[in-house]
Copies of this chain bind each other. A is one copy, B any other.
Amino acid sequence: MAEEAAVREQAETVRRLKQGKADPDEIAKEVAKLLEMKAQLGGDEGKPKFVLKTPKGTRDYGPKQMAIRERVFNAIISCFKRHGAEVIDTPVFELKETLTGKYGEDSKLIYDLKDQGGELLSLRYDLTVPFARYLAMNKITNIKRYHIAKVYRRDNPAMTRGRYREFYQCDFDIAGQFDPMIPDAECLKIVHEILSDLQLGDFVIKVNDRRILDGMFAVCGVPDSKFRTICSSVDKLDKVPWEEVRSEMVGEKGLSPEAVDRVGEYVQLHGGLDLIEQLLQDPKLSQNKLAKEGLGDMKLLFEYLTLFGITGKICFDLSLARGLDYYTGVIFEAVLLQQENEHVEETVSVGSVAGGGRYDGLVGMFDPKGRKVPCVGVSIGIERIFSILEQRLEASEEKIRTTETQVLVASAQKKLLEERLKLISELWDAGIKAEMLYKKNPKLLNQLQYCEDTGIPLVAIVGEQELKDGVVKLRVVATREEVNIRRESLVEEIRTRTNQP
């Protein structure tokens, strides 16, 4: 009865909604009601048709994927540490209001938590805003830190191209008031080091500056109020052709065709130090204070990058805009140009694998007195890199080990479980990585097969004769060589043979 009434009421509201008679408050309430009904349907009706899956846009990492992931993380972390970074961590969710107003048009992609009667919470969308909140909250004005953690975006997933709703970001940021472009140059050096180290094939790092973009918009006749939205149109230029972006600017965003065409001329420019010099002479741009500042700093940046010897991979590109609202100065994005491996080229589309920039205003948004802390940082997009390496590994013959076990403790006869347990315990206590089969009386053949399957290099075999003689038979899986080792020398022998301390 109550349900019937509810449905009738709902129908009435829908009718009024269609006639435009319902106000937004009413709509919100109806949505809340519908969601409540859905939640009750899902939870209470005995055994629902159960779907065995991970949530949309997410995935599990099995042992093989994890082995690849650890390799990539190690490369990235050792680069961050090489540059003297500390490490921090923040909660996976933040107060909803912490994230509000930081992401422009992307805010709709934020995951909110259900209000269960406490604070309103959202899953973090990136690591940059939590970092800024952390700095303001702890009144830190000076830090170089990295942070590797998962972030969440209710975006359209494209998993084969490494686009997920839950994905890792690996961020390195430098906060503090410093002489211009020195930390900015280090961020680009870091991207260069990591991408070279991971051997992902050829890449280019595009660089631009928000001040150059804003100055350019101004001299092209884009009204101030439209800078940000035109910026996010420009940002699409790496995916869609200019004609499409042009019609979005004219149609959706309501910019005059003349202004759009002037913008079009600039955003198709890219080059190096020569282009910077050319634009510094540009009669219109050079009159604009912001653009001049940005171009001056861009020149300085290129000088520092020359000292680092990496300008070969750097491209000053006026079409690079980056979507996020909080950037205030230099911005950059690294793009893979092509795969070395033919097989991979077909399945993984190339694209952005790192990005970042300067955001001098973000910390001030959190400080009660608006005190600013200038920041510049870079984020490595690890998922796309995983996808490439995963598919490359699958295409290759390489067999990847998922454990580090040095030795299997085995027995040649029955009734030796107790002896195996005693021996393996000795090995563990000495720091040796050891396994045994969880069977009372395993066959020797099965034990050897297990080593073949998992890549364990050594087998320590206990038998009655060996026990009497005070030795253990050590077998090298690869060569089938067997030697008797005195029990007290076994640990040392295993260490030597596996080169692990």
Which A positions have Cβ atoms within 8 angstroms of B? 2-3, 6, 23, 25-26, 28-29, 32-33, 35-36, 38-40, 42-43, 48, 50-56, 58-63, 66, 69-70, 81-97, 100, 111-116, 118-121, 123, 133-134, 136-138, 143-145, 150, 152, 154, 166, 174, 176, 178-179, 182-183, 185-186, 189, 193, 304, 307-309, 366, 368, 402-405, 417-418, 421-422, 425, 428-429, 431-435, 438-440
Q: Are A145 and B63 in contact (CB under 8 A)?
A: yes
Q: Are B116 and A111 in contact (CB under 8 A)?
A: yes
Known contacts A23-B2, A89-B61, A166-B92; A434 and B82 CB within 8 A of each other: yes
Contacting residue for A83 out of B136, B174, B428, CB 8 A? B428
Q: Are A25 and B54 in contact (CB under 8 A)?
A: no
Q: Are A6 and B25 in contact (CB under 8 A)?
A: yes
Q: Ordered nearest first, which 6 A-B pairs have the shortest CB separation?
A: A178-B438, A63-B86, A84-B435, A58-B91, A112-B114, A61-B89
CA–CA, A422 and B2, complex, Å: 77
CA–CA, A390 and B82, complex, Å: 26
Q: Are B114 and A55 in contact (CB under 8 A)?
A: no
Known contacts A60-B90, A82-B428; A33 and B29 CB within 8 A of each other: yes
Q: Are B28 and A36 in contact (CB under 8 A)?
A: yes
CA–CA, A422 and B307, complex, Å: 6
Instruction: Count chain B CB atoms within 10 A of each CB in A52, A69, A154 and give the residue with the most.
Output: A52
Known contacts A112-B114, A113-B112, A425-B309; A183 and B438 CB within 8 A of each other: yes
Known contacts A26-B2, A179-B438, A428-B83; A116 and B120 CB within 8 A of each other: no
CB contacts (< 8 Å) of A189 on chain B: these are 425, 428
- What is the predominant secondary structure among interface residues of chain A facing chain B? mixed
Q: Are B137 and A52 in contact (CB under 8 A)?
A: yes
Contacting residue for A82 out of B90, B123, B183, B431, CB 8 A? B431
- Residue in B closest to A49 when the chains form the complex, CB atoms: B97
Q: How far is the CB of A31 from chain B (nearest CB, A)?
A: 8
Q: How far is the CB of A379 from chain B (nearest CB, A)?
A: 19
Q: Are A60 and B42 in contact (CB under 8 A)?
A: no
Known contacts A62-B138, A116-B112; A95 and B53 CB within 8 A of each other: yes
Q: Are B91 and A59 in contact (CB under 8 A)?
A: yes
Known contacts A60-B89, A88-B66, A431-B82; A39 and B307 CB within 8 A of each other: no
CB contacts (< 8 Å) of A118 on chain B: these are 56, 154
Q: Are B405 and A96 in contact (CB under 8 A)?
A: no
CA–CA, A439 and B176, complex, Å: 11
CA–CA, A81 and B431, complex, Å: 10
CA–CA, A178 and B441, complex, Å: 11
CB contacts (< 8 Å) of A138 on chain B: these are 60, 62
